Amino acid sequence: MVRETRHLWVGNLPENVREEKIIEHFKRYGRVESVKILPKRGSEGGVAAFVDFVDIKSAQKAHNSVNKMGDRDLRTDYNEPGTIPSAARGLDDTVSIASRSREVSGFRRWWGARRYERRLDG
């Protein structure tokens, strides 16, 4: 189980969603500090983003609520900056996140890139 934090990973967002739309949706739970939309990883599913709240209670409210944007049911998971959210693991072979340069849970960060790729060599 992931530790509760003020940082959420949000998945299954609409294709052309903008930061302003995400902030508008999540501000009902509390003050949103920042939003970072991640590059789309595959041809199926939606876009993902990191949503950082000012406090943990706001993130808890958002995570424990049913969130819909248009006809999409959004997925949320707590995120510890610098790690790969558990809800994002196994969705496809590439997981994009902003993080430090190091290997995390079988994923390798390519130098200068802001993404982790699943190790194929074990």
- Answer yes or no: CATH 3.40.50.150 is held by domain 7-118: no
Give the three-class secondary structure for 110.
coil
Q: What is the DSSP letter of 4?
A: P
Q: Which residues partner with 8 through β-bridges?
A: 51, 78
pLDDT tens for each residue of 62-80: 999 999 999 999 999 999 8
Q: In what order do the strands lie in the sheet with 115-118?
A: 94-96, 115-118, 107-109
Backbone φ and ψ of 60, nearest 5°: -60, -45
Q: Kindly list the distances between the CA atom of residue 25 and the CA atoms of 20, 54, 83, 97, in Å, as whole numbers in the listed order.
A: 9, 15, 25, 22
* Cβ contact 53:8 at 8 Å: yes
| Residue 1: per-residue pLDDT | 59
Question: Could you report how far apart the first and last alpha carbons of the chain are, in Å?
Answer: 24
pLDDT tens for each residue of 25-60: 999 999 999 999 998 877 776 899 999 999 999 999
Predicted structure pTM score: 0.67
State whether the Cα torsion 87-19-108-7 is positive or negative. negative
More confident site: 10 or 1: 10
Tell me the pLDDT band of 89, cut-offs 50, 70 and 90.
low
Q: Which residues partner with 37 through β-bridges?
A: 49
Give the residue extent of every domain in the chain.
7-118
